[in-house]
Amino acid sequence: MTATASRGTQRRAPATDAPARAGRTGKPRVEPIFYAFLFPAIALFSLAITLPALIGMFYSVTDYVGFGEYDFIGFGNYAALFTDPRILSSYGFTMGFSLVTVIAVNALALALAIGLNSKIKFKTALRGIFFIPMVISGIVIAYVFNYLFSNTLPALTGTGSLLVDPNLAWLSIVIVTAWQSIPSAIIIYLAGLLAIPEEVYEAGSLDGATGWRQFTSITLPLVAGYVVINTVLGFKGFLNAYEIIIGLTNGGPGTATFSVAMTIFTGFTSGDYAYQMANAVIFFIVTVVVSILQLQLIRRRGVSL
């Protein structure tokens, strides 16, 4: 390892050079026990994450169906993905859903955070209530909302169920996902709002910046970095939408709300294992590209992450 480079120059006792510090005369030796500290995490991580990722990439260029023999078919799976309407529609739905949800979550969470950060009565109780969705299992809350959408709302409004309308079913998924995701976004916004000194608002109000003007000229620019954080984190999470969809529409009506994650999982039962592995590789690339694009955005905004 790198320790060998400096081994010859180090003559101090191991006990004193162990707390390794840069900026001295070269690099101190690594105390062997640190390798033992690091090893379990790296080893398990490699077995549980890296190995499956490599296996998946390997199978994505074969015609493996999940068992038995297989042949290499090059990038045939990848080529087929781009013309498969089922795949394209799952990406379309997942991206569109994520985009709308990110916008909805950020707008509502920022509004609620500003409210919760202002001089209000029952502050602790209200905060407590708004954070409850964070601790509930997504699948269970989706089941609860399933009944609300299919029975309660139609009974109250006299309209049909949101869940069986091919054009509007996605909206139910946005609502429940937002319901569950808003608390963690509020927490991040509250951290951002608390970091704004009171004096900034006082100075602003002397110049007549109150109400909406205060929001657009002071609050929004100063929490812009937190907006980006919430967007990156939210988008990455929403792309993996699965259990809330299972609990609400199960991908329906038809395949209107079939997400990419759900499509990949069908590879296990439908015999197109290798094909869905190619899909998973593409999905990984999409996730990384989306994250990198958003991180570029952060850098341009000058927010230190």
Partner 1 sequence: MSVAINPAAAAAVTTPEARRSKDPKESYRPNWTTTILLILASLTVLIPLYFAIAMSLKTAAEAASGTGLTWPWPMQFGNFAEAWTLTDFPRAFIISLLISVVSVAGAIVLSSLASYAIARNWEHRGFRYSYFYLLAAMFIPFPVIALPQIKLTAAVGLDNPLGVALLHIMFQLSFSVLLYSAFLRSIPHELEESARIDGASTWQVFWKLIFPLLAPMNATVGIFAFLASWNDFMMPSLITADSRLQTLPVVQNIFQQQFNTEYNVAFASYLMAMAPTILVYIFAQRWVLSGVTRGAIK
User: Which residues is 72 bridged to in the sheet?
Assistant: 62
Of 11-19, 68-76, 85-93, 207-215, the window that binds partner 1 (rule: CB under 8 A) is 11-19
Of the candidates 51, 88, 203, 293, which one interacts with partner 1 according to CB under 8 A?
Answer: 51
> Can you give 148-215 as a three-state secondary structure string?
HHHHHHHHHHCCCCHHHCCCCHHHHHHHHHHHHHHHHHHHHHHHHHHCCCHHHHHHHHHCCCCHHHHH
Of the candidates 88, 120, 203, 293, which one interacts with partner 1 according to CB under 8 A?
Answer: 120
Closest approach, Cβ 82 to partner 1, in A, equals 18
Of 84-92, 95-103, 206-214, 267-275, the window that binds partner 1 (rule: CB under 8 A) is 267-275
**Is 178:250 a contact under the CB 8 Å cutoff?**
no
Closest approach, Cβ 217 to partner 1, in A, equals 19
Question: No. of H helices and E strands in the chain?
Answer: 16, 0
Distance, in Å, from the CA atom of 129 to the CA atom of 124, rounded to the nearest integer, reads: 9
Of the candidates 71, 82, 132, 206, which one interacts with partner 1 according to CB under 8 A?
Answer: 132
Nearer to partner 1, 209 or 281 (CB): 281
Nearer to partner 1, 37 or 167 (CB): 37
The answer to whether 9 contacts partner 1 (rule: CB under 8 A) is no
Residues contacting 283, CB < 8 A, separation 6+: 239, 260, 261, 264
Supply 5's token pair. 């480079």
Closest approach, Cβ 288 to partner 1, in A, equals 5
Of the candidates 155, 167, 202, 207, which one interacts with partner 1 according to CB under 8 A?
Answer: 155
Distance, in Å, from the CA atom of 110 to the CA atom of 286, rounded to the nearest integer, reads: 27
**Cα atoms found within 13 Å of the Cα of residue 211, Cβ hemisphere only:** 2
The answer to whether 187 contacts partner 1 (rule: CB under 8 A) is yes
Which of 182, 183, 176, 185 has the alpha carbon at shortest distance from 245? 176
Nearer to partner 1, 64 or 170 (CB): 64
Of the candidates 65, 103, 233, 256, which one interacts with partner 1 according to CB under 8 A?
Answer: 233
Of 43-51, 72-80, 159-167, 210-218, the window that binds partner 1 (rule: CB under 8 A) is 43-51
The answer to whether 116 contacts partner 1 (rule: CB under 8 A) is yes
Q: Taking each helix axis as running N to C, give the angle between helix 123-130 and helix 169-194, from 0 to 180 degrees, rounded to the nearest 10.
A: 140
Task: Tell the residue number behind the tokens 């929001």, with chain if given.
Answer: 215
Closest approach, Cβ 193 to partner 1, in A, equals 9
Query: What type of residue is 115?
Result: G
Distance, in Å, from the CA atom of 108 to the CA atom of 213, rounded to the nearest integer, reads: 18
Of the candidates 8, 11, 25, 37, which one interacts with partner 1 according to CB under 8 A?
Answer: 37
The answer to whether 126 contacts partner 1 (rule: CB under 8 A) is yes
Segment 72 to 111, residues that bind partner 1, using CB under 8 A: none
Of 80-88, 97-105, 123-131, 208-216, the window that binds partner 1 (rule: CB under 8 A) is 123-131
The answer to whether 21 contacts partner 1 (rule: CB under 8 A) is yes
Query: What type of residue is 203?
Result: A
